[in-house]
Structure 1
Amino acid sequence: MMRSLLAAVALVSITLLAHAATETTSGVLPDGTPWRIDFPDNWNGTLLVGLDYAPNGGNTPTVQELLRRGYASSGVNRAVTGWSVGDSIENHVRVVEIFTERYGPPARVFVNGSSLGAHTGAAVVQARPDVFDGAVLQCGGLAGAIGLWNSKLDALFVAKTLLAPGDDRYPIIDVPDDFATNARPAWLAMLQAAQQTPEGKARIALAAAIAQLPAWSVGSKPIPAPDDYDALQEGLYDSLAGGPLPVVGQAMSSRNEINRRAGGNISWNLGVDYRKLLERVEHADVVRAMYEKAGLDLEADLDTLAAAPRIVADPDAIRWARIQVISNPLTVPVVTVNGIGDQISPVSGQQAYEAVAGSENLRQTYLRVAGHCGFNGPEVVTAVEVLQERAITGVWPDTSADALNARAATVPLSGTPRFIEYEPVPFARPFHFPRVDAKVRSAVIVRKSQQLVQLDLTPLEPPASEFSADKIDPASIRFAGAAPVDSQLKGNTLVVKFRASDLGDLEPGAGVRIPVSGAYRYGVPIDAEVVTTVR
C-alpha cells in the first residue's frame, strides 16, 4: 500500500516561509483523488488532515501561519468522493500513511475540516480513532446526514405544498441532473416572486423556520432586532432563497449527488407533524406575526401540510448513509467552530451533535458570523491551538469567548476575533439509528399441515414514537431471506411468523447467526440478527 501510494507522487517542492522551510509533496490516490502534504522543517509533531486541501490549500495565509507554528498540513479534495463519506475516510487514512512513510509517524493527527470537510471529519474520528487523535470541525453539518437532510426536505416540502402544490418544476427529492439550468432557477424565481406578497412572505417564513434556518445569514446586513418581524422574515428568506448561498441551491446540487451515490433517497417526512414541529423551533413568533400581517389562517395552512402526501426513504440508501450518522460519545478531543448565521449548517445542528457525541472530549465554540463558514485566520488558528494544548496536556484550556478572543488577538493575521457565548436551540429533527431486539420465541404448530416459526421484534431504548413497533412495516421483514406469512402487534413487540419450510436451507446447529432485515414505514432500515439453534 505505502509504495503504491508513494509511487503516485507528482511533485516535491521547497517553500521558504518567514521562519521555516516547507517541503510540499503532492500526488494522486488510487481512486484519482489529489493529495498534498506541506511539511515544515520546525515540525511540532502534529499532522493536520483536511478534505478540501489539495491542490492549493497550503497556499492560504491561515495555513502558512500554522506551518510557521510547526504544524504539518495535508489533505485531499472532494472531487472524486463528494458525499461518499466512507470513501473519503479511507482517503484521509491514506494521506496519513503517505506522510508516515516519508516523514515518520506523527505524534498527533488531527482532522482540520470545514463544511463537508467537517461533516466528514466527524465521521472520521468516529470511525478511526485509532488513526486520528482529534479534530477541529468548522461549519459542519454535525446533525448527521440524515437529520440534516430531513430538515432541508422540510423546508422545500412546506414551501412547495403551500406555494406551488403539485408543480413538477419544483422537485424536492428527485432532483434531475440538469438542475442547474432548470430546477434550481425555477425554485429561486418562484420564491422570489412569493417574497413580493404578504402571503408569500408568511409561507416562506414558515418553511424557513421549520427547517431552523437563521434569520441573519448575509453579513452586509445588520442582525435584526428580536421584535423586527419584517427584517427577521427577510433574513429567513435570505437563508432559504435570497442570499448568496441559499439552501434551495444546495438542496438541488447536493441532493442530486447524494441520490446518485446512495442509489436512492435518504430523507422522509412520513409521520412528521409540522404543527408540533413549529412549536419547537426558534422563529415561530415571526411566522405567526407574518401570517397575521398577511391575513392568512396559519392553522389552515398547517392542516394543508398535515393532509399533504408524504415522502418515504429508501432503506438501502439510509444504510449507505449510516457512516455519516453520529452514534457514540467522542473518544478523542474535538473542537467545533460554528457561526450563528450559517444557513447551510444551521447552528441547531451543534446541539444534535452534543446530544450524542458530547463528553469531556468536546468543546463547542460559536462566532457572530453570517453565512456559511467565513472564519478568519486568527479564529481558525486559535481553534487548532486549543486542540493542540488539550492533546498534549490532557486538560482543556479556557474556551470561554473572552479567552478565545484574547488568544486569537495574538495571531499575526488580519481579522477581528468574533467568538461569543451562545447556546443553540435543540435540533428539531434529530436522527439516530434505532436498535431492535430480535428473538425467536417459539416454533408452533398452528395447523396440522403447517409449522410456523415465530420471531419477536422489539424496538429498544431510546423510545421514540416514530420507531415504536406499530411503525414497523411487517411486509418488509425478512428472516434468513424468508418473507413472513402473518404478523400481530403485541404492545411494543411485532410478532412475525414464517413457514418453517421456508427456513429449511439453514444449517442446523448451536449458535447459528440468522440475519433479520426490514424497515419502518418511513423507510428507516431494521438490521438485526438472531443467535439461536436451528432445528
Structure 2
Amino acid sequence: MPRMRPRMLAAACAALLVSLATPSVAAQAASPGHASGTLADGATWIADTPARWNGTVLFFSHGFGPTTAADAPSPAAKAALLNAGYALAGSSYDPNGSMWALESAERDQFATLAAFRHDVAVPTRVISVGQSMGGLVNAQIARDGAGRVDGALGLCGLVAGGLDLDNYQLDAEYTLTALFDPADAARLVNLPSAAEANSLAARLTTAVTAAQQTPAGRARIALAAAYLNLSDWAPGQSAPAPGDYTAQEAQQYSWLAQGLLSFIVPARWSVEQSAGGNTSWNKGVDYAALLRDSAHARQVESLYRGAGLDLHADLTILTRHARVTADPKAVARVRRSSTAGQGLSVPLLDIHTTSDQLVPVEQETAFAARVRASGDGALLQQAYVARQGHCNFTTAETIAALHALEHRLDTGHWADAASPARLQESAVDLNLDGAAFTAYRPARLTGAGRR
C-alpha cells in the first residue's frame, strides 16, 4: 500500500475531524428535527429541519415585539417551507433591552447562523429573511453578509430606518396635539414610562374620535395622516377612488381609530429607550413644504376648502411652534444601529403590501434611493401586493418571492422573475392561499432624510 505523504495525511485528518465535529447535510436529511440554544448575550435561538432537506437554511429576523426566538413569518409559512425542504432558524435578539433590539439583532442573527452550522448542519445556501423591524435587520444583513449569506428576502420591511420612522411619526403626533390636544403638545418625547406612552396614545385617539364628527376635524385629521404617510385604504373596505377625498379621509380615520396610535406611540418610546434619549425632532421644519411633498396634499387642500378652514394659517402655526429637539448622542446611536441602504453585498428582494398602516410602503422609495446612491441598485428588486394591512401576505406570496430570489441566485440575473406578472403566476401555481401581486410605484416618503 502506498504511503500517504505527511501533508496529505494532515489534510485527511483535518477533514475527518471536521466531519466528526460538524453535522453533515446528509445526517439531517433522514428525519425532521428541532434544535435550540443560548447565545453569549443571553439571546435564544431555534432551528427546525425537514425530513428531506434541500440544503438551504432560511434564517429569519422577527419584527418589533417580545424578544422571543422565531424562525418563520407565520405558522402557515413555517409548515409550507419545511414541507418544501427548507431548514429554518432565528433568534430572539438580546432579551435584556428594549423591544427595539437593533443594537443586538444583526449580531445575534449571525451568531445564530454560526450556531446552526456548528450544532445542526452545514448548509449549501443561506438566505436571510426578515419581517417588519426584522426587515430592517434583513437589509443590514444583506449589506454586511458577504461570505456568510447568499441572498435576502424582505417582508414589509422597516427599511427607511429608525430616524425617518420617528421623525414622520413625530410630525403626525405633533399635528394632532397642536390642533386637537394642546395640553400634550410639549409631552411627545422623553416620556418617563411605557404607561405614559400608552396614556398619550389613548388621549390622542380620543381627540381624533371627537374631531371626526366635524368637517374641520376631518380636514385636520387628513393633514396629520399626510405627515404619517398613512394609507387611505382600510381593512374590510374597497379602495376609495383617486379623487374621492372624503372617502380617503374616512378610511385613514379607520386606521387611527382602530388602534394605530396605541401601537406607534409606545413603539417610539421603545426606540428612545434603546437609544438612551429622544431620537426625533421638528425644530426648523417647514410644515407647508412638508405637505407639498406628500402624495396626499390635494386631499388635504380639498378638505380644508370644504370645511372653510385656512390651511395656510394651520401650517404657519405648526411651523412657528415646532420646537422639539433631539439628543445628539441618541440620534448618533440610532443612525449607527438602525439604518440600512448604505449598500448591498448580496441580492435582496423586498415585498410590501400597498396599504401598510405601520410601515408605509413609501419606505421602499427611500430605501431604494439610498441603495442606488451606493451603486448597488442592480442587486435590489422590489415587488408589491395589493392588500391592506401590515405584513399581510399569503403563504403563496412569500414562497413565490423566495423562488424569485432563488432564480437570481441560480442564474446571476433577475430577468423577469420578480416582475408582478411572474410572481403572480408563480404564487397561483402553488395552489395554496391566493396572491395579489400588482404593478405599483410608491410615492415619496414624507418627512424622510431630515438632517
TM range (shorter): 0.7 to 0.9
Q: For 1:397-412, what aligned pairs fall within 5 Å after superposition?
A: 397-398=415-416, 399-412=418-431
- Give the SS at the match of 1:256: helix
| Partner residue in 1 for 2:165 | 148
Amino acid at match of 2:348: V
- Residue 24 (structure 1) aligned with residue 34 (structure 2): yes
TM-score by length of 2: 0.85
**Structure 2 CA distance for aligned equivalents of residues 233 and 278 of structure 1:** 15
Deviations 1:68-112 (A, max 9, x none): 222111112357252131301111011111111134432222221
Following superposition, the deviation at residue 138 of structure 1 comes to: 0.7
Q: RMSD value over aligned CA atoms?
A: 2.2
Amino acid at match of 2:267: S
Identity of aligned residues (%): 33
| Partner residue in 2 for 1:257 | 270
| Partner residue in 2 for 1:270 | 283
The alpha-carbon distance between structure 1 residues 59 and 117, as it changes in their structure 2 partners (threshold 3 A), is closer
- Residue 236 (structure 1) aligned with residue 236 (structure 2): no
- Residue 168 (structure 1) aligned with residue 184 (structure 2): yes
| Partner residue in 2 for 1:368 | 386
- Residue 302 (structure 1) aligned with residue 315 (structure 2): yes
Amino acid at match of 1:300: A
**Structure 2 CA distance for aligned equivalents of residues 55 and 299 of structure 1:** 49
* Higher relative contact order structure (alpha carbons within 8 Å, sequence separation ≥ 6): 2
Following superposition, the deviation at residue 169 of structure 1 comes to: 8.3
Out of 219, 236, 254, the position equivalent to 1:220 is 236
Out of 344, 351, 357, the position equivalent to 2:358 is 344
- Give the SS at the match of 1:235: helix
TM-score by length of 1: 0.73
Following superposition, the deviation at residue 380 of structure 1 comes to: 0.5
**Structure 2 CA distance for aligned equivalents of residues 280 and 169 of structure 1:** 24
Following superposition, the deviation at residue 419 of structure 1 comes to: 0.4
Following superposition, the deviation at residue 170 of structure 1 comes to: 8.0
Amino acid at match of 1:43: W
Q: Which runs of 5+ in 2 are unaligned?
A: 1-27, 63-67
- Residue 93 (structure 1) aligned with residue 110 (structure 2): yes
| Partner residue in 1 for 2:155 | 138
Higher strand residue share: 1
Deviations 1:363-421 (A, max 9, x none): 100111101111010000111111122112212142221111110012242x2210000
- Residue 315 (structure 1) aligned with residue 328 (structure 2): yes
The alpha-carbon distance between structure 1 residues 174 and 424, as it changes in their structure 2 partners (threshold 3 A), is same
CA contact (8 A) 2:177 2:185 kept: no
**Structure 1 CA distance for aligned equivalents of residues 74 and 35 of structure 2:** 13
Deviations 1:174-205 (A, max 9, x none): 23321365222112111111111211111110
Q: Which runs of 5+ in 1 are unaligned?
A: 1-15, 432-465, 468-535
| Partner residue in 2 for 1:523 | none
- Residue 40 (structure 1) aligned with residue 50 (structure 2): yes
**Structure 2 CA distance for aligned equivalents of residues 330 and 282 of structure 1:** 29
**Structure 1 CA distance for aligned equivalents of residues 221 and 368 of structure 2:** 29
- Give the SS at the match of 1:203: helix
**Structure 2 CA distance for aligned equivalents of residues 341 and 99 of structure 1:** 36
CA contact (8 A) 1:115 1:139 kept: yes
**Structure 1 CA distance for aligned equivalents of residues 91 and 405 of structure 2:** 21
| Partner residue in 1 for 2:298 | 285
Out of 64, 68, 90, the position equivalent to 1:75 is 90
- Give the SS at the match of 1:409: helix
**Structure 2 CA distance for aligned equivalents of residues 55 and 140 of structure 1:** 16
Following superposition, the deviation at residue 327 of structure 1 comes to: 4.6
| Partner residue in 2 for 1:428 | 446
CA contact (8 A) 1:170 1:187 kept: no
Following superposition, the deviation at residue 145 of structure 1 comes to: 1.1
- Give the SS at the match of 2:252: helix
Count of aligned residue pairs for this structure pair: 410
Higher helix residue share: 2
| Partner residue in 2 for 1:475 | none
CA contact (8 A) 1:45 1:107 kept: yes
Following superposition, the deviation at residue 357 of structure 1 comes to: 1.5
**Structure 1 CA distance for aligned equivalents of residues 50 and 423 of structure 2:** 26
- Residue 62 (structure 1) aligned with residue 77 (structure 2): yes
Deviations 1:139-167 (A, max 9, x none): 111111111211111111111112222x1
**Structure 2 CA distance for aligned equivalents of residues 42 and 368 of structure 1:** 34
- Give the SS at the match of 1:119: helix
CA contact (8 A) 1:114 1:138 kept: yes
The alpha-carbon distance between structure 1 residues 102 and 132, as it changes in their structure 2 partners (threshold 3 A), is same
